[in-house]
Each structure stands twice: as C-alpha cells, then as structure tokens.
C-alpha cells in the first residue's frame, strides 16, 4: 500500500473514534449542518451511524464527499441502494443517489459554505433523494 493511502486510512480511523462521536451528538440536535447517515454494513450487516454535512434541497439533500467516494459509509449506502438520513430530528429514507458536478453541488450550499468548498477545491458532490410521502 502506498504511503499516501496509508496516511489517509490512518486519518480516517482517528476521525472515526474522535471527531465522529462529537459530530454525531451535534447531528442529533435541531440546528447546524450535521446529519446522521444510518446505513447497514455491506459485509457485517451491522447498523452504523455516520455524521456528514448536508444542504437541504427541494426533494432531498446535497452532500459533499469530503474524503471522496472510497469511504466505507458511502460504499455501504451504494451497496444497499439507499439509507436513512436523520436531519434536525426527522428521518428521511433515501432511495436515489445522483452524482452532481462540482458547480451544481457547491451551488446547493449557502454562500459562506459555498466559498469554503470552492477554496478547498471540493469536487465530489451527490444528491440524495428521499422517498416521497404517499
């Protein structure tokens, strides 16, 4: 394994056990940009909850994949064909995920966040659509 990949994996492990528990607590509140992604492990079948930042849009949420597409929670969601997002205390069943180009993805966020995403060169965005209530 290349050094860069080893460092990235190490960072993700540290975040998983330090920052994620804190942001999970923030995501359960009714303010702020954090959301819980509830997903099932594609190999273990275990239920997981991962905090992410989203921007709500008309029929779903836009997410920015800070660490790219190659992270476990994202692989689990794709393998399962969906997930549940918990945003501001309400659950949304996600049944469709669409890739977005960087400009469209950034445009979904408020101006201050949009500018930060542009400065940081973020380019991996997706739209998570929730099931329509029948």
pLDDT single digits (tens) 68-121: 898 899 999 999 999 999 998 899 999 999 999 999 999 999 999 999 999 989
Domain hosting residue 93, numbered range: 3-130
Q: How many domains in the chain?
A: 1
DSSP the chain: --HHHHHHHHHHHHHHHTHHHHHHHHHTSSSSSEEEEEEE-TTT--EEEEEEEEEEETTEEEEE-TT-S-SHHHHHHHHHT-EEEEETTEEEEEEEEEEE-HHHHHHTS-HHHHHHHHHTT---EEEEEEPPP-
Domain at 105, CATH number? 2.30.110.10
Predicted TM-score (pTM) of this structure: 0.79
62 has a pLDDT exceeding 90: yes
33 has a pLDDT exceeding 90: no
């Amino acid at each position: 394994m290349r050094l860069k990949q080893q460092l990235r994996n190490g960072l993700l492990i540290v975040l998983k056990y330090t920052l994620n528990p804190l942001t999970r607590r923030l995501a359960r509140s009714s303010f702020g940009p954090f959301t819980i992604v509830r997903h099932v492990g594609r190999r273990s079948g275990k239920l997981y909850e991962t905090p992410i930042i989203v921007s709500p849009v008309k029929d779903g949420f836009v997410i920015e994949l800070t660490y790219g597409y190659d992270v476990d929670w994202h692989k689990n969601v794709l393998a399962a064909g969906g997930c549940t997002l918990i945003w501001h205390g309400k659950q949304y069943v996600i049944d469709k995920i669409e890739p977005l180009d960087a400009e469209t993805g950034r445009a979904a966020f408020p101006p201050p966040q949009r500018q930060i995403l542009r400065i940081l060169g973020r380019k991996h965005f997706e739209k998570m659509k929730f099931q329509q209530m029948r």
